[in-house]
Structure 1
Amino acid sequence: MERKKRVSAAKNGSRNVIDVRMDAAFFFDRAVESLGRFRYDRAVKYFRRAVEYEPGNPVNHCNLAGVLSEMGDYEESNRLLRHVLDNIDPAMTECHFYMANNFANMENYEQAEEALVRYLENDEGGQYLSESEEMMEFLSLELGRPLKLTSIKAREGLYEHDKARSLLEEGKFAEAVRLLEKLLKQHPDFTAARNNLALAYYYMGQFDKSTATIREVLERDPGNLHALCNLAIFHQHFGNKQQLQELLDTLRKTYPYHADHVFKLATTMGILGEHAKAYRLFKRLLKTGEAGGEPSLYHYAAVAAANIGRYAEAERLWRQAEKLDPGSDIPQFYVGQLELLRSGQSAQPLSYHYHLPFEEQFRVLEKTNQGIPDHLKKDPLVRSSFFWALRHGDTDTKLQVIQAFGLIGDGEVKDALREFILDPAEDDYLKKVAVFVLRYIGTREPLPAVLEGQRLTLEASPYSPKLPRWEAKWQSVMDTALHTMNKRYDMVQQHDLETLWVEYLTRVYPNVPKITKIEGWAAALEYLIAKMHRRAISYHEVAARYNVGVTTVSKNAKWIDEACGLKEKMDAIFPKLP
C-alpha cells in the first residue's frame, strides 16, 4: 500500500506542491539518516514503519532487529529474527548469526552456541565466516569445551581438512586419521586430504598404510607433485635405495610451473640431499618474485648454497635475509656457522628450517617424549645453537632452549642454567622456569639466584618469600599433578602449575582448606592450567583421569580461581565480544 503526502513550498514568489511518496523506502532512508546521527530511537520508529509497509520483506525486520541489538534490547531483537526464520524466509541463515551475537551479549552461551552452529552448518555464502571463527573461540573459552560443530557448509570439507592439519601439527595423529578418513569417504577426490592422511599414517608408524595411501593419490593423479615428493621422503626413511633413485631421476627432471610446487620440490630435494637442485629452484623463486620477499626464502637458498660449498653466495643471501628480518637473530647465527664449515670443523649439512636448528629437533622430541639422542647431544652445531640462543635469542626462543635443556640434563647444561638465573638482566619468569628445570633434572642443592632485583638462595621447596612453611600434603598435591601431566604437558605448563599452586597457598595462608583428597586438588590444578593455556578439557575428563568426582574438581578449581583471580586475568587476555 502506498500513500502520498502533499507538501507546499514557496519559491520565487510562487507556490509549488510536492508529492512525497510515503512507502517503505521513504522510511528506510529516514532510518538510515537517523542512524548516521546516532538517533537510535528515531531509527527504530522509522524501521518499524518500514516493516508496516512491507511486512513480508525480511530485510526490514533484520534492520529493525539490528538497531534493537545496538540499543541492548537483545530479546526483542531475537524475537524479530525468529519471526523471519519461522514465518518469512527460513533461508536467511544469517539470522542465526545475529541471534548468536545477541545470546552472547546476554551471556546465554549455550543458546549462542546453538545459534552459531546452526548458522555455520547451514549457511552456504560464508558472509560472517571470519566473525564466526572469532565467536567460536570466545564461546569455547566461556563454555570450557570445544563447540559442538561437525561441519561448515560454506567451506564444504575445507573446515574438516584444516582441522585435521591442525591436529597433525599438534601431534594428535589418531584424531587426524579419523577425521581425514571420514572426509575422504565424503570427498574421495580430495587429494590434499589424502596426502595428509598418508603423512598421518607415517607419523603413527603405519608405514605400509602411508605408502599405500600415497599410491592411491598417484593412481588418481600420476603427476601429483606433493605425492611424489612425499613418496621420495618415505623411500629415504625406509632405506629403499633403488625406488628412491628411480624417483629422484624423475624429480631431477621435473620443472614445476606454480610457485607452491616449485617450493615443495625445492624443500624436498634439500631434505633428500640434492642441494644443487634445491639451490636452483630456490634461486628461481627469488628471481621471479613469485613467493614474495620472505626472509625465510633467502635462508633456504643460503642453506642450499652453503651445502654445495658456495659460502660467499650463502653469506650474501643471509645478509639479505637479515635486512628483511632485522629483529631476528637467525641469519646472523647461520653466518657464524659458515666459519665452522669453511674451517672443516663440521661437515654436517645445515638445516633448511628458518629458525635456530634446535627448535625443529625440540618439536619432534616433544611429540615422541624421548630424550635427545647422544649423537645430537655431542654435535657441535646443535650444542652451540642451544647455548648461543640462551644468550642472544628472544624470549620465546630462550624458553624453548630452557625446556630443551631439561631433555639433555648434563653438567654443562646445569652450569649454563645456574649462570642464567644469576643474570639480573634476564626475565624473572624465564629464570623461574630455569629453576624448575634444574630441579627436574636432579639439582637438589640450594641455588643462588637474582629474582625481582634481589640476590637470594632458593631451597628445594618451591619459591615463595611470603609462605613461611611448606607442608608434605602440599608437595603431594603438586607431585601428583606433575606426575599425571608428565609427557602430556610441556615444562612451561608444568612450571605454571607449580606457580599457581604456590600462589594459591600463599594467598589463603594461614586459612588453607583441609586437604583430604590429594587427587581432587591435583585434578583442579590440571584443569586450570589447561584452561590458561587454551587446551580443550572438561571437568568430566580430568575427574576421570584422577579418579575423583566432578563436583570435587569443580569446587576446588573454583576456590583456586577465586583466590588467584584467574577469570579476571583470562578476561583481560581474551576480552568478551562487544
Structure 2
Amino acid sequence: MKEVNQRKKARVISFHHDGEFFYQKGMVCYQKGDLERASKYLNRALKFKPNEVEYLCQQAAILSELEEYETSINLLKKVVYELDDKLTECYFFLANNYAYLGDFQEALDEVSTYLAVEPDGAFKQEALELYRMLAEEIEDIDTEESAYISIHERGRLALERGHFEEAVSLFKKVIKDEPNFLAAQNNLAIAYFSMGVTGMALKAAEWVLEKDPGNIHALCNLATFFYQLDDSDNLTKVMHRLDRLYPLLPEHCGKLGSTYLYVGDYEKASRWLKTAERKGARCDQVFCFWMALAAYHTGDQELAERNWRQVDYFSGKPFHPFKYSKIQNMMFEPDAQDNFMVMDLIKKEVWEGNRAYQLFSLFYLASKGDEATLAEVADKGTDFVVKGTARRLLEERRAEKPDMRLQIMRQVEIRVGGKKEALKNPELYSFWSVVDSVIGPSGNTDCSGWAAALLYLWKKEFGERTSQKEIADELGTTVYRLRKHVGELAAALDKQWEDGMVWL
C-alpha cells in the first residue's frame, strides 16, 4: 500500500502533445470558421512535422482564405517541388494564389502546368476558365510595367496582413527597379514603423517629401508616426502642412480624412471623408467605419448609424471585428458605454460569438455596469457556461462582494496589460472558464496560484518562452502552487479536447 501511495503521489501530468494533436485542434477551428486560430494550430503541428504533406496543404488552403497568398504559395511549392510531385492539384491552387496577387503570367504558367499534367483532373473546368480569364488579362497589360506593380501589390497585401519583414523585402525590390515609385517608398515607411524601426521609417517618409514636398501619403504617414511617438512638436508642424492641402483625388481625400480621424480631429476627418465619398471614393466596410466614427464624434448620429449599418460587422473581411485596432481603441474610449457601435458589437458577441468572445463581452459589460444585458443573458442564454457567468457577474455587482473565481480572470487581465490587451487574446477567457470549472463553486480559490497557472499554460500553448518561476514571481505566488494547478488545468484542458468541447 505504501508503494502504491508513493507512485500515486509522484504522478506527473504531461502537457506535451504531438503534431497530430495540434493538427486536429486546427481542423476543428477551421470547421468552425475560426481561420486565424486554425492557422496557429497548423503552425504548431508543422513544428513537429515540417514535411507532413497533409499539414502543409491544409495550412496553404487556410492561408489562402486569409488572403496570405505569398505564404500559401511557398507551402504549395514546397509540397509539389520538394516532397510529392504527384500532388498536381497544387499547381491549380498556385495559379489561383498568383491570380489573386495580380501575377497573371505566373498564374497562367501554373494553370498551364496543371492542364498539361492533369488533362482530365478534378479541377479541369475551373482550370480552363481560369486559363481563359488570365489569357485575356495578359493581352491588356504591358508586362514590363506590370512586374513592379504586381510586386508592390504583394507587398501591400503582406503589410495589410502584418507580415512586415516580407513587405519590406518586396517594397525594396520595387524601389530597386523603380526608385521613383513613391507609393512603394511610402508603404516601406509604414512597414518599417510597424516593425519598430522608427529611424528608417522617418527616413523613408522624408525621402519622399524631398522628391515631392506635397506628397499627401508621406505627410499623413509622418503625422501618424509622430502621434504614436508622442512627438507633439513635430506632429504640430506636419498637421499645419496638412491643414493647407486641398486634394482633388478621392483617394487623397480619404487618406487625409483617415489621418485626422487617427489623431482625433473628428471635425476635419468628417469633412474630408465626406468629400472623398462625394468624389467617388471606394466606400468599403473600413471606409464606412471611419465615416461612422467621425460622424459619431461630431454629433451626427443619423449619419453614424447609416454608415455603421453598411459596416455590417466587417462581414466582408477575413478578421473578427475585435481584431481591428481602431475598434479596440473605440471600445476603450472614456465614453465607450454611450457609443452605440460599441454596445452593438458587444451585444452581438454575447449572443452570436464563440465562447471566448462571449465571456470577454460579459466581463466588459460588467465593467461598464450594464446589468440589463447581463440579466438578459443570465435568463435567456443558451450556453450554460456563458449563462452561468452572466448570472454570477450580475450577483457580484448587486451583492457588492467579489466572486473570487471571477477575480482570477481579472488578475489575468491586469497581468497581460488590461482588458484591451486581453481582448487581443480571447483564448485567455476560454482557459479561465476551464479553471473555473475545475475549482467549482465550493473549491479552494487560490486566486494568484490559479492565475499564474493559467498564464503559464497559455504562454506555453502559444509558443511563448517563459518559466514557472518567472510567472510565479509575477503573480506573487510560489512555484509549488503554480505547478500543482498547472497539472490540474492541463488535465482538464486535455479532457475538453478529448470530449470535443473545443472553443478556443
TM-score under structure 1 normalisation?
Answer: 0.41
* Higher RCO (CA 8 Å, separation ≥ 6 residues): 2
Higher strand fraction (1 or 2):
1
Higher helix fraction (1 or 2):
2
TM-score under structure 2 normalisation?
Answer: 0.46
